[in-house]
Amino acid sequence: MALALWLCWTAVTYLLEGRVLTMARPEDTGARVLYAVIANLGVGIGGSAYVLRRLMRRGFLSPRRSGFSASWRTPVAVGVGVGLGVAAYVAQGAPTLHPIVLLNGYAQVLVVSVAEVLVCWAVVGGTLEAILRPIGRVGSVLAALGATSLFGVYHFAHSPPFNTVGMVALLSVVGLATGAFFFVSRDAYGTIVFHNFLGLFGVLGALESAGRLGTYTEPRVPLIATGALSLVALVLAHVVFFRVAAAPHRT
């Protein structure tokens, strides 16, 4: 189920983004929203919620293993994610500090980041770790590496420059940082916040290279709305589906 979800999500991403070069056309808000809604809200977030619910109801996964555990953990993880994310964005040479550009970019990347963290680490990483549980901490390390590998390969379904071998290798290193954050914090929310800053740098950097940062200096309501909707979908999945499905569950 985890692998099928990843394959479906990657295929839909290629059809709606990589094949038609959606990311290379920042002015085409409609195409970006269509890609965000179908590939990420629908398949990435909705599909992950379905798979996680099924696996939790079977007792195969627990909320903790999937990043949805104690509520006290989330504020701490989110705070750390913001701090590390801002530091990483600035340290890499922030393409811009324009507040509206940052808002548009962060909202645009957010729906993708939620889907990436859920599919690659909550579902795939959590499943691999559960399978490899008999070998202890080594299993967790292998699970993190496996999830990160699929995260890197997934980017071949995107438009340039994200589908090149060099960029995929670089994004796999980014994935290692995200995977480490996820498996240490055991919190999906904090991981998403941290990972989104890494994605923000990549997207704004690509727009800067193309000379198109100026197209984001006005608020883009559709992008902001889809970003907010992705958070609503995540919280609803957590509150409505995961908590109910998790009792009883394995630790």
Q: What is the pLDDT of residue 243?
A: 60
pLDDT attached to residue 102: 95
pLDDT of residue 242: 65
Closest CA to 227 of 117, 109, 120: 109
Torsion of CA 41, 45, 47, 51, to 10 degrees: -170
**Residue 228: CB partners within 8 Å, gap ≥ 6?**
107
Q: What is the pLDDT along the chain (251 residues), one digit of tens a residue?
A: 999 999 999 999 999 999 998 877 777 878 888 998 999 999 999 999 999 999 988 889 888 888 987 677 899 999 999 999 999 999 999 999 999 999 999 998 999 999 999 999 999 999 999 999 999 889 999 999 999 999 999 999 999 888 999 989 989 998 999 999 999 999 999 999 999 999 999 889 888 887 888 889 999 898 899 899 999 999 988 887 666 554 544 44
pLDDT given at position 250? 45
109 neighbors 200 (Cβ within 8 angstroms): yes
